Structure 1
């Protein structure tokens, strides 16, 4: 019995977004039903290196399949400029829940981008208008790509407006999708007046206000992943129907963390968790729904669900590098 080593190209190939979206939706449902184990994300703070490590273990049982794994991931903002390395580097250990055998070790960076896009797609499917054809993006970094690719799986996106202060990054994004969409750069307000908006910036001072979005816009707030980060103004959050992925994580380090701890938002202002929409205990968008916001912090069950898809597809294609990690050979 061997462990599969799957690099970023393998993960990119086998994390087929349609399948990852389905798996992440199942994971949200399992979470709501209580069929998961997911300890709180733990942090190792490294201020001397302007970075941190995060440990994210999880187990889930969808009723049709179960899976377990651990993602070890970091955020080091100085990496690109100083070391020519990505800001985020992740490693995923995917294990057999029955025997604990390490089935695979795979790139967690690409996996994170895929599962984050998939989570936004699940929320968009429940909360955006059915005929959404336009999508805005605030931020043209690496996460913006999978946001567009995933959301276009659940809505017939035709027009894309991207707001970013970095002209080179903006041009690269437009060039990447010019053949697939009517894509252009624009202001935050132009992006926000699309049917769907994803914000993917690391800011700590809000940059998207109430007047920057249309009355029907669905917003995927992706950028806030640590205490103090905050992309949307309080006025926008107060005007919106807010759906979160997990109460503990969102109030600690999600989009709502700042106004929640300052008392401007309370539990009464949170409509519910995405899992409640998936299992049907809360309704998604109705004719009376206005602005919606999905506060996505990223859950370990999403990583495990995405890893399940990657591993199964790699095995089906007899791909990956198989090696004897724990010394059991062909046992």
Structure 2
């Protein structure tokens, strides 16, 4: 019984956006219905190496889209070592995903978790956009032009007919690189943060701690995916945007601790009364998505282990069917 090794190129090839977005939506639905096992993310701090490790395990029992149920399990082992690029020529963040058969515990695949994380993060934004953005959205504002901006566009363009993309970043080279990749398929324009924030859909993917998106820049019916905040103190949006919006989060514990809302929540300026729902409740219809009465909507994303498992499920199934990746013997069945 073989395990499949999937490197970054294999994960990239095996990410089919409609399937990944559908699986991530299934995962949020299962979470809302109580059909997941997802312990809190655990940390191993390594101050002597200016870094840490995090483990993110999860199990999903998904009902699917009505045509196919599935279940899956896995764990992502990921780090953050800010000194890596300068000191070792390695990325700051690297991830490895172990995807397992829930019935037997056989490791079905070992995947590049870094590419997987980018894909599942884009998929979460697409699920939120599909439920919270205006149906005729054609413009996307990207505040931040790094690697996550790429998957934001690719995923969101799967659920909305995006034509115009306004990109804002302090790094003009990053904007130019983004235009080189997507300029033939979209009307990609360099713009200010305020110009990007006025689009139909906006995704923010920066690590800032002082808000850079002002309230008066956001369109009357804009949907914002706040994706950048992933640690205590990070904060991209003016508090007035959060308070004036229909605010949807991925997970209460994570968002109040380290998501976009963590700063105003800790200060008491934003409370549970200001939170409309978790995304899973919107997906299953227990809470409303966008209605005709809504103005600004915001999705606060911190990233959940169920997203990793759901994406790994789709990537593995595609790789198996299309002979992607390298199979190898990890489990010695002679010991049975």
Task: From 143, 160, 165, give the equivalent of 1:160.
Answer: 165
The reply to whether residue 103 of structure 1 matches residue 100 of structure 2 is no
Q: Which residue of 1 aligns with 2:241?
A: 236
TM-score, normalising length: structure 2: 0.96
Aligned ranges for residues 64-103 of structure 1 at < 5 Å?
64-103=69-108
Query: Deviation at 1:51?
Result: 2.8
SS in 2 for 1:170: helix
Partner in structure 1 of residue 51 of structure 2:
51
Q: What pairs up with 1:107-256 in 2 under 5 angstroms?
A: 107-256=112-261
Q: Identify the match of residue 322 of structure 2 among 300, 317, 326.
A: 317
Give runs of aligned pairs for residues 255-270 of structure 1, distance below 5 A: 255-270=260-275
Partner of 1:27: 27
For residue 215 of structure 1, report the CA deviation from its aligned partner. 1.2
Q: Which residue of 2 aligns with 1:36?
A: 36
Cα contact 2:14–2:324 (8 A) shared by 1: no
Cα deviation for residue 170 of structure 1 reads 1.2
Q: Is the Cα contact below 8 Å between 1:2 and 1:330 reproduced in 2? A: no
Say how many residue pairs are matched.
331
Quote how far apart the aligned CAs of 1:50 are.
3.4
Tell me how far 1:15 sits from its aligned partner: 1.4
TM-score when normalising by structure 1: 0.97
Q: Distance in 2 between matches of 1:52 and 1:225?
A: 14
Stretches of structure 2 lacking an aligned partner (at least 5 in a row): 64-68
For 1:30, what is the secondary structure of its paired residue? Answer: helix
How far 1:76 moved relative to its partner?
2.6
SS of residue matched to 2:333: coil
Alignment of 1:268-307 (within 5 A): 268-307=273-312
RMSD between aligned alpha carbons? 1.4
Q: Which residue of 1 aligns with 2:66?
A: none
CA deviation digits over 1:9-68, x for unaligned, max 9?
A: 110000111110000000000000000000111122334433322110000001311000
Displacement of 1:329 in angstroms is 6.5
Partner Cα distance (2:289, 2:271) in 1:
21
Could you give the per-residue CA deviations for residues 257-289 of structure 1, whole angstroms, max 9, x where no partner exists?
Answer: 111111111110000000111101111111110
Q: Work out the CA distance in 2 between the residues paired with 1:75 and 1:136.
A: 28
- CA shift at 1:327, angstroms? 1.3
Find the residue that maps to 2:77 and give its secondary structure.
Answer: strand
Q: Which runs of 5+ in 1 are unaligned?
A: none
- For residues 95-115 of structure 1, the C-alpha deviation after alignment (integer angstroms, 9 at most, x for no partner) is 010111111101000000000
